[in-house]
């Protein structure tokens, strides 16, 4: 099934100059960029993106740190499209906690901080990217970050291999 998903290169990925490397991981896999932009995130957008669901999983203090972190600097928002894009992108990105991310994934190759370390230091886990967790979240997040006019449809060389 052809799906769309959202990836954000967070401020730590932008600051470290990893945007091109991160994008190339998806393109080499045959996942197509159909929307991309640099955004300076305001608090309102941060609150809509980091919903209270994160509070249930990791606590309100983590949600606040994530919101403070994402408004701190620029973010690259990317809408990707491909076969089983949500699942494939999540595999490329790696586990949310960098300490658990396998080598060969974006987080496994470029980050290593654990939840425990971040909690002890009262910092956010710098894990470079956000990737939608499932199809429903992807739809919601794409509409939050992109208007329909900012998303494009086109044929790529990979499309001839997708029947």
Q: What structural domains and CATH numbers belong to the chain?
A: 2-145 (3.30.70.141)
CB atoms within 10 A of CB 158: 14
Q: For 42-92, how does the pLDDT look when each residue is reduced to its tens digit (9 = 90+)?
A: 999 998 998 767 666 677 888 889 989 999 999 999 999 999 999 999 999
pLDDT of residue 63: 85
Mean pLDDT within 113-131: 94
Please count the other Cβ atoms lying within 10 Å of the Cβ belonging to residue 10: 23
Q: Please give the helix or strand (H or E) that residue 158 lies within, else none.
A: none
The reported pLDDT for the residue numbered 159 is 81
Share of the chain above pLDDT 70, in %: 96
Q: State the pLDDT at residue 82.
A: 96
SS3 of 129, please?
A: strand
How confident is the model at residue 87, as a pLDDT?
A: 98
pLDDT confidence of residue 109: 98
* C-alpha pair distances (Å), 20 with each of 16, 26, 28, 132, 161: 11, 10, 12, 20, 25
Assign 157 a pLDDT band (cuts: 50, 70, 90). confident
Please give the order of strands across the beta sheet that includes 74-83.
32-40, 74-83, 2-9, 129-131
What six digits make up the tokens of 78?
A: 């990317």
Quick check: is 130 catalytic? yes
Q: What is the mean pLDDT of residues 121-150?
A: 96
Query: Residue 108 above 90 pLDDT?
Result: yes
Answer whether residue 140 shows pLDDT above 70.
Answer: yes
Enter the pTM of the model: 0.93
First to last CA, the chain: 10
**Selected catalytic residue, list 112, 130, 158, 161:** 130
Q: Which residues pair with 123 in a beta bridge?
A: none
């Amino acid at each position: 099934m052809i799906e769309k998903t959202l990836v954000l290169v967070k401020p730590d990925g932008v600051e470290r100059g990893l945007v091109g490397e991160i994008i190339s991981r998806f393109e080499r896999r045959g996942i197509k960029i159909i929307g991309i932009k640099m955004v300076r995130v305001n608090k309102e957008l941060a609150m809509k993106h980091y919903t209270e669901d994160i509070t249930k999983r990791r606590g309100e203090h983590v949600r606040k740190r994530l919101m403070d972190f994402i408004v701190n600097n620029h973010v690259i928002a990317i809408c990707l499209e491909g076969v089983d894009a949500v699942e494939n992108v999540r595999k490329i990105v790696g586990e949310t906690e960098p300490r658990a991310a396998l080598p060969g994934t974006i987080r496994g190759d470029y980050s290593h901080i654990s939840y425990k370390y971040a909690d002890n230091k009262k910092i956010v886990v710098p894990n470079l990217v956000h990737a939608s967790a499932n199809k429903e979240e992807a739809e919601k997040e794409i509409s939050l970050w992109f208007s329909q006019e900012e998303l494009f449809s086109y044929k790529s060389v990979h499309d001839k291999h997708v029947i």
